[in-house]
Amino acid sequence: MKKLIEVQHLSKVYPIASNEKVHALKDVNFTISEGDLIAIVGTSGSGKSTLLRILGCIDTQSTGQYLFKGLNIEGKTDKELANIRNQSIGFVMQDFSLIEDYSVKKNVLLPLTYEKNKVKRNKRKKNLNTLLEKLNMSNQENQNVTSLSGGQKQRVAIARALINQPAILLADEPTGALDQATSKEIMSILHSLHAEGKTIIIVTHDLQIAEQCQRIFQIEDGHLHEVCEL
């Protein structure tokens, strides 16, 4: 399979005081291919969210190399990174990260605001109904997201993450704020997306969720190692 992400000797250091530093990530190495379903597990403060931020082009590494679709992310401008986030990466966050004053439709279509290609934009707008139907949200299209349940909100977040047909979905504790039944529902959606060929990385502290994934990476004190590959 084609390599989507390559990380080599990646480290991230945060200065916290004049002479003190935190080594959030230490010499991380891994490769992710298209179609992978990856879980990154670790305790709180282990560095998994830091890694997800770097993979999602929200943050940059201190040292090492990060190649995304063969492109070296180092040295990319803010504009280029924003474009990568818009076109190639879909985010699903624990707190859903939806704009509360907007409707379901407006939240899902929000990434298209930053799509420069008008033709692509219009084409993807037309796919809205298909997407909402797939996620069982067609009836709530014009509803304000504040009136939705947690599970419904996460489905809207997934729809928003998919609207630009990104190469990869990054999910940071996607079931963290949901009950067991709803968590199963969301995981089922992610699995079906994976079955369609979507590459998905899930950051989680829940081993049960991790065990549902093809590959599991464990991150501990900034060091990452692969636990097993199914």
Q: Does 144 bind other proteins (CB under 8 A)?
A: no
Q: Does 118 bind other proteins (CB under 8 A)?
A: no
Rg (CA), the chain: 18
User: Cβ distance 36 to 230 under 8 Å?
Assistant: no
Is beta strand 37-41 parallel, antiparallel or unpaired with respect to 199-204?
parallel
Give the nearer residue to other proteins in terms of CB position, either 201 or 213: 201
Q: What is the x/- site pattern for other proteins, positions 11-50, by CB under 8 A? A: --------------------------------------x-
Please, which of residues 160-199 interact with other proteins by CB under 8 A?
A: 160
Helix axes 150-162, 180-195, angle to 10 degrees: 20
Tokens of 146: 């504040």
Tokens of 194: 């994976």
Give the nearer residue to other proteins in terms of CB position, either 107 or 182: 107
Give the nearer residue to other proteins in terms of CB position, either 11 or 97: 97
Q: Does 98 bind other proteins (CB under 8 A)?
A: yes
Q: Please name the amino acid found at residue 102.
A: Y
Tokens of 38: 């990856």
Q: Does 87 bind other proteins (CB under 8 A)?
A: yes
Residue 224 vs residues 37, 89, 115: alpha-carbon distances, Å: 17, 22, 34
User: Cβ distance 85 to 57 under 8 Å?
Assistant: yes
User: Cβ distance 67 to 5 under 8 Å?
Assistant: yes
Name which of 201, 203, 131 is nearest 164 in CA terms: 131
Q: Does 104 bind other proteins (CB under 8 A)?
A: no
User: Cβ distance 40 to 204 under 8 Å?
Assistant: yes
Instruction: Using the rule CB under 8 A, give the single segment among 35-43, 92-100, 122-130, 198-206 that binds other proteins.
Output: 92-100
Name which of 9, 81, 66 is nearest 32 in CA terms: 66
Q: Does 71 bind other proteins (CB under 8 A)?
A: no
Q: Does 58 bind other proteins (CB under 8 A)?
A: yes
| From candidates 3, 71, 95, 139, binder to other proteins by CB under 8 A | 95
| From candidates 23, 26, 53, 125, binder to other proteins by CB under 8 A | 53
Q: Does 113 bind other proteins (CB under 8 A)?
A: yes
| From candidates 46, 61, 86, 154, binder to other proteins by CB under 8 A | 86
- Residues at the interface with other proteins (CB under 8 A): 49, 53, 58-59, 78-79, 82-83, 85-87, 91, 93, 95, 97-99, 101, 110-111, 113-115, 160
